[in-house]
Structures are given as C-alpha cells and as structure tokens.
C-alpha cells in the first residue's frame, strides 16, 4: 500500500510542481479575527454559507483578480471579498489566493465560528464578515505592521525622509491611477520601495474614498520608521514600504507554463474531489503518453503551493484507503475527515479501511498511512509536513508525529482527542515544521 501511495504522490506532484518565475508574495502580514462568534444554532448555516462564498470567490479571482460574494439569508449571511495586488501575475495571484483561503480557516474552527476575519498577505487579501463591508474605507480594527529590523545600512534621517516622501507620492499617484501604484525613492544613496493599492469596490465607488483611506495609511505607516519594513492594513486599502524591491514593475510577460497550469492551484485549493479526478486523469494521461520513464501587495515551486497540495494529498490518502469519496469541507458527521479523526481519537484507525479489503491488510500499516494523512490535513498549514517528509515517512519506518485537528470538525470529536491536540502543539518536531521565518503575524485574538 505504501508503494501505491508513493506512486500517487509522484503523479500528484509531477503535475503540480511547475516552476514559477516569480514570488506570489504569500507571506502573511496580518490576520485579524473578529471577536463576534456564531451562536450554536447559527454555526452550521454560517459555516456552509462561508464555504459557499469561498467556492464562488475562487473562479472570480482567477478571471478578474478580485471578487465580492454574498451568500445566505438573515443573520447567517456571509459577505466575502478577495483581491490580489495588481502587480502580481495571474498565476501568482491564484497561488497567493489558494494559500490565503486555507489560512483564513483559522478564524473559524467549528468550535468557535468567528463571524469575521481578515487575512492580509503581501500579494493578496481576503476578508469575510457578517455585514456588508465592501465599501468600508476605514475600520476600528485597521492595523499597522512594522518590520523588526531597524534600517542600518546608511543615514537613518535620509531613510526616513525618503520613506515618507515615497508613501506620500505613491498614495497620490494611486488615487489618480485606478487605485494602484508602485515606485521607489533613491536619494543620498538610500533607496526605499513601495506599493499602494485601494481595494476595487472602493476605487469603483469614488476617488475620495480611496484618497481618504491612503491618507490615513500614510499617517499611520510613519510610525514604522526607522524600521526597514512598514505596512498599513486598512479596510479599504494597503500601503507598504520596504528597503527591498518586492514588487513587479516589468511589462515583460512571463512565459506561459502551458494551458492547464494556471487553473491548477484553484482546483487543488477548492475540492479534494477535484484533486481526486486530477489524479485519475493524471494516471490515464501518463499511461497513454508513456512519459513516466522520461520524467526528470521536478522543480519545487515553493512552500506555498506545497502546503495546499499536501492538504489535498492527505484527503486523497483517505479516499484511497477508506474507499470513500470525501464530501469536501462540510461539517457533517459523514465527512471522511471527521470519521478518520474520530477513529484516531479512539485509537482505532484501522476500522476506517475500505471494507472491501475484508481485513486482508496489516492493521499497523494502515494506521500508519492514515496517520500520515491526518498530518497532511491539519488545520494549520505550518504544521503540515513537507512533501519530502511525507516521502520519508512512507518509505522508511520513520516515527510519525501526532497530528493536530483538521479544520471543520464537529465538537463531538474533540473530547476524545483534545489531549493529543494540546500535547503536540508544544512538541512539534523540528524536522517537519516549516513555518515561514519572516512572516509577521499580528492577530488581535489568537486564532488558534
Ligand atoms: C472589528 O471591531 C469591531 C468592534 O469595533 C468588532 O465587532 C469586530 O468583530 C472586529 N473584527 C473584525 C474582523 O471586523
Ligand atoms: C470586541 O473587540 C472590540 C475591539 O476590537 C471591543 O471594543 C469589544 O468590546 C469586543 N467585544 C467583546 C464581546 O469582547
Ligand atoms: C449560496 O451558495 C449555494 C451553494 O453553493 C448556492 O446554491 C446558492 O445559489 C448561493 N446563494 C446565492 C444567493 O448566491
Ligand atoms: C437569527 O435569525 C433567526 C431567524 O431568522 C432568529 O430566530 C434568531 O433569533 C436570530 N438570532 C440572532 C442572534 O439575531
Ligand atoms: C544624515 O543626513 C543628514 C541630511 O542629509 C545630515 O544632516 C546628517 O548629518 C547625516 N547624519 C549622519 C550620521 O551622517
Ligand atoms: C522598476 O523599478 C525600479 C526601481 O523602482 C526602477 O529602477 C526600474 O527602472 C523600473 N523598471 C521599469 C520597467 O519601470
Ligand atoms: C514626490 O512628489 C513631489 C511633489 O509632487 C515631487 O516634487 C517629487 O519629485 C516626487 N518624488 C518622486 C521620487 O517622485
Ligand atoms: C553608499 O552606501 C554604501 C554602503 O551602503 C557605501 O559603501 C557607499 O560609500 C555610499 N556612497 C555614498 C556616495 O555615500
Ligand atoms: C456601496 O457603494 C455602492 C456604489 O458603488 C452603493 O450602491 C452602495 O449603497 C454602497 N453601500 C454602502 C453600504 O454604503
Ligand atoms: C465618497 O466617499 C466618501 C468617504 O470616503 C464619502 O464621505 C462621500 O460621501 C462619497 N461621495 C460620494 C459621491 O459617494
Ligand atoms: C509583471 O507584471 C506584468 C504586468 O504588469 C505581467 O505581465 C508579468 O507577468 C509580471 N511579471 C512577473 C515576473 O510577475
């Protein structure tokens, strides 16, 4: 069975691991979860409306780079907005957004469905809430996130002056240029780079809304000087300066990676059923063309897609071993994730194996594989193992760490496994934890 999974894995990743020429800038700048939570009786509806908006937002992002979606009625209505920075290539926009989508789930574990959440990445932005915030310019939860390193490679006064001039000019230019501008100021041997962007609904509404938002951002981002990085994160706009040139101002088109590649991250990010189809399609494709032998604001594309792919892979592991199709992210008890997680809590993982096998397998091996699957679908992407780690665990008799909880499970499963969850949070093995070192996390309420 291990060998079969390794084979699946190879196919899975030879499809998704396309090289990318640029960064999707999927570093988290801030995550802000609302402190309002859905009541017990609202939870199920609120979460399924949330998921419906997530599904609807993704294809819109892929075509127009931003999306506003509303789903549901009454007090479980969910409003969702997403947008990429305008300098990101289409491919990177999709990648950044796929990652954003998996991470915002941290605002709504089933036990505590928060009624709002915002996730700022340096390449994209995603927000959901329980009211119509699409035109919102500023809100009380807007935040400023400064880097941790002081500018040290030159005259600090000059740096500060350049940074202030830059953000002022960027903001003024953005207002005149459809709500987006990038640029730099280089004077007296000190360079500062920056990006200003108003979110689309604001730009569409009226020029002064964008202006108000960026003026506020300028006044707040000044508090970051003399740090090397500064970001103002508002309900209506994003402003950043940096000592590094982080944006893309080239007009050279990126070489196209082939027709399907742009859609891939969306498929992977959306439903595991689609991922499953992808694999079946992949097998057929490979057998037919016999390429298998020849394979070399493969190349490993980066942590970002990998973690999304690892999640999908975990679900596929369950589908293969349990002989069932996962009904996606629903919180219902028939979810395959729920079933496997429950059995894990009761230390009876082997019961999840497809009954067709009629106990014709080694319980220990099946349990090992399912446990690897659970590691892959942990709610926190940072805790998911890297693909090389998965390969190691599949091939060798490597010790398998205790998984933490997947997203969207019923509270009932918690009682049986809460000890495991809390125990492993403190003892995550270094070998597979790959949290991005330079991501700046600021949350008003710890979403974990
Ligand atoms: C923002 O602040 C308001 C209160 O000022 C609060 O109700 C809301 O939950 C907060 N969070 C978000 C994400 O809006
Ligand atoms: C929610 O957070 C806001 C500030 O963001 C605070 O004013 C409010 O009292 C909080 N509400 C609750 C119920 O904690
Ligand atoms: C909400 O989502 C559901 C499920 O995707 C869909 O059937 C329904 O049409 C959506 N409602 C609206 C108002 O978009
Ligand atoms: C939400 O709406 C339902 C029916 O629309 C109502 O019964 C319930 O009291 C409402 N809850 C809140 C907190 O407003
Ligand atoms: C930094 O530059 C300012 C203005 O150019 C100058 O007045 C100041 O003396 C410089 N400081 C240092 C430490 O070089
Ligand atoms: C891109 O920006 C850099 C620094 O801001 C500048 O030196 C360069 O000329 C720009 N290139 C184009 C094509 O605008
Ligand atoms: C910034 O704007 C001011 C006033 O419009 C202008 O004089 C200055 O040249 C601009 N600086 C840069 C670097 O574009
Ligand atoms: C510019 O800065 C670099 C170090 O950051 C220094 O080596 C160089 O001498 C400086 N040049 C001028 C003209 O100040
Ligand atoms: C948002 O702006 C649109 C026009 O772009 C307007 O029709 C709508 O009423 C506004 N909504 C709010 C809540 O201000
Ligand atoms: C434009 O937006 C501002 C808020 O930034 C608002 O005060 C003003 O009324 C809006 N003007 C129009 C014509 O909608
Ligand atoms: C840079 O932006 C242009 C559009 O302005 C886009 O065509 C190109 O693919 C981008 N390049 C990279 C490396 O992101």
End-to-end, the C-alpha distance of the chain in Å comes to: 34
Mean pLDDT of the region 426-439? 29
Q: Per-residue pLDDT for 110 more than 80?
A: no
Give 159 Cα–ligand 8 centroid separation in angstroms. Answer: 13
Residue 162, pLDDT above cutoff 80: yes
**How many beta carbons lie within 10 A of that of residue 258, not counting itself?**
9
Q: Is the CB of 35 under 6 A from ligand 2?
A: yes
81: its two tokens = 């907005």
How many Å separate Cα 101 from the centre of its chain?
5
Mean per-residue pLDDT for 426-441?
29
Q: Find the range with the poorest average confidence among 42-46, 325-329, 347-351, 409-413.
A: 409-413
Q: Is 137 in the pocket of ligand 10 (CB under 6 A)?
A: yes
Nearest atom within ligand 5 for CA of residue 158: 2
Closest CA to 291 of 11, 5, 4: 11
- Which strand ranges, in their side-by-side order, compose the sheet holding 229-233? 143-146, 229-233, 237-242, 190-198, 180-187
* DSSP 8-state symbol, 185: E
Output 66-73 pairs: Cβ under 8 A, ≥24 positions apart: 66/199, 66/200, 68/134, 68/201, 70/132, 72/45, 72/46
How far is the C-alpha of 403 from the C-alpha of 374, rounded, in Å?
6
Beta-bridge partners for 242: 193, 229
Other CB atoms within 10 Å distance of the CB of residue 415:
9
Q: How far apart are CA 97 and CA 132, in angstroms?
A: 21
118 lines ligand 1 (CB under 6 A): yes
Q: Are 82 and 75 in contact (CB under 8 A)?
A: no
Q: Residue 402 C-alpha to ligand 5 middle, in angstroms?
A: 56
Taking residues 98-113, report their average pLDDT: 79
Q: Tell me what pLDDT residue 234 has.
A: 97
**Of the candidates 307, 250, 254, 298, which has an alpha carbon nearest to the alpha carbon of residue 91?**
254
Q: Which of 164, 168, 169, 192 to mutate to test the pocket of ligand 7 (most atoms within 8 A of CB)?
A: 169
Q: Mean pLDDT: which of 65-74, 88-97, 415-424 is highest? A: 65-74
Task: Kindly tell me if the per-residue pLDDT of 261 is higher than 80.
Answer: no
Strand partners, 70: 79
Q: Residues 229, 241: contact at Cβ < 8 Å?
A: yes
Rg (CA), the chain: 23
Ligand 4 atom 6: the closest Cα is on which residue?
Answer: 75
Are 135 and 202 within 8 A, CB to CB?
yes
Supply 12's token pair. Answer: 């899975």
How far apart, in whole angstroms, are the C-alpha atoms of residue 278 and residue 298?
A: 18
Q: What is each CA distance from 423 to 101, 410, 428, in whole angstroms?
A: 27, 20, 9
Residue 306's pLDDT band (cuts 50, 70, 90) = low
Least distant ligand from the CA of 116? 1
The domains of the chain, with CATH numbers, are 26-134 (3.30.430.20), 143-242 (3.30.430.20), 274-445 (1.10.510)
Ligand 7 proximal residues by C-beta, below 6 Å: 165, 169, 185
What 3-state class would DSSP assign to 331? coil
> Does the beta carbon of 203 sit less than 6 angstroms from any atom of ligand 10?
no
395 lines ligand 1 (CB under 6 A): no
* pTM for this predicted structure: 0.68
**Tens digit of each residue's pLDDT (9 = 90 or more) over 184-242:** 999 999 999 999 999 999 999 888 999 999 999 999 999 999 999 999 999 999 999 99
- DSSP secondary structure code for residue 223 in this structure: G
Q: Which ligand is nearest to the CA of 79?
A: 3
Residue 124: pLDDT over 50: yes
Q: Give percent of the chain with pLDDT exceeding 70.
A: 70
Residue with the smallest CA separation from ligand 11 atom 14 is 89
For a mutational test of ligand 8's pocket, the pick from 155, 157, 189, i.e. the residue with the most ligand atoms closer than 8 A to its C-beta, is 189
Q: What is the pLDDT of residue 23?
A: 64
């Amino acid at each position: 069975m291990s060998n079969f999974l390794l084979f699946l894995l190879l196919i899975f990743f030879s499809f998704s691991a396309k090289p990318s020429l640029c960064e999707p800038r999927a570093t988290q700048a801030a995550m802000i979860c609302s402190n309002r939570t859905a009541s017990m009786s609202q939870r199920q509806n609120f979460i399924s409306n949330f998921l419906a908006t997530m599904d609807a937002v993704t294809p819109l992002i892929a075509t127009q780079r931003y999306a506003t979606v509303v789903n549901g009625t009454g007090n479980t209505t969910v409003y969702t907005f997403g947008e990429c920075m305008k300098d990101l290539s289409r491919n990177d926009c999709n990648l950044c957004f796929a990652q954003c989508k998996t991470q915002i789930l941290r605002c709504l574990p089933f036990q505590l469905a928060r009624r709002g959440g915002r996730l700022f990445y340096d390449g994209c932005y995603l927000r959901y809430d329980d009211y119509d915030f699409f035109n919102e310019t500023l809100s009380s939860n807007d935040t400023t996130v400064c880097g941790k390193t002081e500018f040290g490679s030159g005259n600090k006064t000059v740096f500060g002056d350049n940074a202030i001039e830059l953000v002022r000019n960027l903001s003024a230019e953005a207002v005149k240029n459809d709500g987006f501008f990038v640029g730099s100021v280089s004077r007296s041997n000190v360079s500062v780079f920056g990006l200003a962007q108003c979110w689309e609904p604001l730009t569409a509404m009226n020029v002064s809304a964008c202006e108000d938002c960026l003026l506020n951002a300028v006044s707040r981002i000044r508090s970051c000087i003399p740090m090397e990085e500064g970001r103002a994160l508002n309900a209506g706009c994003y402003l950043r300066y940096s000592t590094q040139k982080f944006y893309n101002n080239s007009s050279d088109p990126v070489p196209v990676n082939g027709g399907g590649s742009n859609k891939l991250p969306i498929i992977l990010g959306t439903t595991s059923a689609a991922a499953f189809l992808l694999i079946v399609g992949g097998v057929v494709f490979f057998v037919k063309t016999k390429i298998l032998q020849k394979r070399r604001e493969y190349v490993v594309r980066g942590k970002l897609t990998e973690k999304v792919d690892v999640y999908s892979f975990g679900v596929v592991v369950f589908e293969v071993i349990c002989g069932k199709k996962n009904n996606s992210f629903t919180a219902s008890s028939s979810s395959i994730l729920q079933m496997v997680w429950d059995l894990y809590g009761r230390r009876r993982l082997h019961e999840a194996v497809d009954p067709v096998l009629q106990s014709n397998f080694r319980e220990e091996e099946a349990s090992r594989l399912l446990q690897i699957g659970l590691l892959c679908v942990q709610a926190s992407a940072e805790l998911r193992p890297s693909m090389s780690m998965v390969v190691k665990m599949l091939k060798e008799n490597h010790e398998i760490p205790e998984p933490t909880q997947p997203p969207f499970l019923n509270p009932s499963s918690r009682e049986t496994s809460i000890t495991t969850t809390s125990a492993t949070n403190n003892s995550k093995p270094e070998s597979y934890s790959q949290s991005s070192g330079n991501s700046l996390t600021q949350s008003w309420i710890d979403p974990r």
